[in-house]
């Protein structure tokens, strides 16, 4: 018999599989409640879900026809939304797809990341046999410019920064992005949470053609399950990205949903405003629990440092009560939990669960 594993790349032997979030049904079964009863505050999703007009557009789409490989209509809608030319936009199956396309397009010796940050950059780099140089953030989670400059000098020709950063919640100010764009590298600013921050680096692309901005419909528009994101970049670079992407990477349902979200953005932004208000309310109400210390956030989640008790056990205890928050095991985030903003009833669940722990 031929061993099938002998054909697999040996450098994958040690690769840890990306740790996926458990399916909702499975989680609910484990906890012993209905999926709808969970306060799912662990993945920064928009718990209001897609707007009714978006759901209607999905229901009426031509699902039996292959999607447009050029995503023409969606790119025109995005051009109007952002005030750039459609030639500066490339769409993908979530912004994760664009991260992968950029890495495979450039295939640098290494990428630079600024941990603690989103895990997908290093995961996708490793899949493409690209090195990862960590330019760790300072204790206040601001960028360490010198560390990034050194990484670029060491061959990191792609720099990935999330702004607002996940899981720390802070924005990277424009002057810092400008300064990074003077480096001899492509600077990729991942703005998955831009609509919550009300700020974007897109206008900087004109003066800095080596700046790439990634955006997504996953968070603000409540379309995480449909997988649709996009990049905004120099037209020449965008054309090269278009040339290597999978032609049907944006499926028909995702395409019509994203276009409808843009067409009805006033309605969609209403849920964004409610989530931002709820984020502030979480910070305010959790001040009653003095062991929880929030970091400032420009996003739809808040990172808390847990002092005087174990953050992992706290997350576990909340989970047993049907409240899901994100806990980290990495050194830089030891003792931290990240809580996503949900609906007012989700915050109530969170506060009640914390109060019950207090009295236990």
Ligand X SMILES: *Cc1c(COP(=O)(O)O)cnc(C)c1O
Residue ranges binding ligand X (CB under 6 A): 44, 94-96, 118, 162, 166, 190, 192, 216, 218-219, 224, 229
Q: Nearest approach, Cβ of 171 to ligand X (angstroms)?
A: 12
Query: Residue 118 or residue 141: which is nearer to ligand X going by CB?
Result: 118
C-alpha dist (Å) from residue 132 to 40, 168, 192, 276: 31, 20, 21, 33
Q: Nearest approach, Cβ of 164 to ligand X (angstroms)?
A: 8
DSSP label at residue 335: T
Q: Return left, alpha or beta for 281; rule: phi > 0 is left, psi -120 to 50 is alpha, else beta.
A: alpha
Q: CB neighbours (10 Å) of residue 66?
A: 10
Q: Nearest approach, Cβ of 20 to ligand X (angstroms)?
A: 13
* Angle of the 94-106 helix axis to the 235-244 helix axis, nearest 10: 100
Q: Nearest approach, Cβ of 223 to ligand X (angstroms)?
A: 8
CA separation for the pair 214, 197 (Å, rounded): 14
Query: Residue 113 or residue 353: which is nearer to ligand X going by CB?
Result: 113
CA separation for the pair 51, 59 (Å, rounded): 13
Nearest residue to the partner ligand X, using Cβ: 94
Query: Residue 192 or residue 197: which is nearer to ligand X going by CB?
Result: 192
Query: Residue 162 or residue 202: which is nearer to ligand X going by CB?
Result: 162
Six-digit token string for 185: 């590298």
Query: Residue 224 or residue 269: which is nearer to ligand X going by CB?
Result: 224
Six-digit token string for 247: 């032609």
Q: Nearest approach, Cβ of 50 to ligand X (angstroms)?
A: 14
Six-digit token string for 309: 């008790």
Q: Nearest approach, Cβ of 229 to ligand X (angstroms)?
A: 4
CA separation for the pair 24, 34 (Å, rounded): 9
CA separation for the pair 284, 293 (Å, rounded): 11
Q: Nearest approach, Cβ of 205 to ligand X (angstroms)?
A: 18
Query: Residue 246 or residue 345: which is nearer to ligand X going by CB?
Result: 246
Query: Residue 181 or residue 221: which is nearer to ligand X going by CB?
Result: 221
Task: List the 229-232 sheet strands across, edge first.
Answer: 89-92, 229-232, 211-216, 186-190, 156-162, 110-113, 131-134
DSSP label at residue 31: H
- Structure-derived torsion over alpha carbons of residues 9, 15, 21, 27, reported in degrees to the nearest 10: 100
Query: Residue 197 or residue 315: which is nearer to ligand X going by CB?
Result: 197
Q: Compute and round to an integer the Cα radius of gyration of the chain.
A: 21
């Amino acid at each position: 018999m031929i061993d099938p594993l002998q054909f697999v790349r040996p450098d994958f032997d040690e690769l840890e599989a990306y740790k996926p979030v458990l399916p909702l049904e499975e989680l609910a079964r484990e906890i012993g409640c209905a999926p709808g009863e969970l306060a799912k505050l662990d993945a920064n999703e928009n718990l209001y879900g897609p707007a009714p007009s978006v759901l209607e557009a999905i229901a009426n789409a031509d699902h039996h026809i292959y999607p447009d490989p050029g995503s023409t209509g969606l790119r025109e809608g995005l051009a109007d939304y952002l005030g750039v030319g459609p030639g500066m936009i490339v769409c993908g199956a979530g912004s994760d797809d664009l991260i992968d396309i950029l890495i495979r397009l450039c295939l640098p010796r290494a990428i630079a990341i600024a941990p603690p940050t989103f895990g997908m950059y290093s995961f996708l780099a490793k899949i493409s046999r690209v090195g990862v140089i960590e330019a760790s953030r300072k204790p206040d989670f601001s960028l360490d410019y010198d560390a990034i400059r050194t990484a670029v000098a060491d061959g990191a020709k792609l720099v990935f920064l999330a702004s607002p950063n996940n899981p720390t919640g802070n924005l990277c100010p424009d002057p810092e992005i400008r300064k990074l764009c003077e480096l001899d590298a492509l600077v990729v600013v991942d703005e998955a949470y831009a609509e919550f921050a009300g700020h974007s680096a897109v206008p900087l692309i004109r003066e800095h053609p080596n700046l790439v901005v990634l955006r997504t419909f996953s968070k603000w528009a409540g379309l995480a399950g449909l997988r649709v994101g996009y990049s905004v970049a120099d037209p020449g670079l965008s054309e090269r990205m278009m040339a290597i992407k999978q032609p049907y990477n944006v499926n028909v349902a995702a395409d019509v949903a994203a276009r409808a979200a843009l067409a009805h953005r006033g309605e969609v932004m209403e849920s964004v405003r409610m989530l931002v208000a709820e984020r502030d309310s979480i910070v305010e109400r959790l001040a009653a629990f003095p062991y929880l210390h929030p970091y400032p956030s420009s996003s739809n989640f808040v990172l808390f440092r847990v002092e005087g008790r174990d953050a992992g056990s706290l997350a576990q205890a909340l989970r047993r009560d049907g409240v899901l928050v994100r806990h980290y095991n990495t050194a830089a985030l030891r003792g931290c939990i990240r809580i996503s903003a949900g609906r007012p009833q989700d915050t109530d669940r969170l506060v009640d669960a914390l109060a019950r722990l207090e009295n236990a």
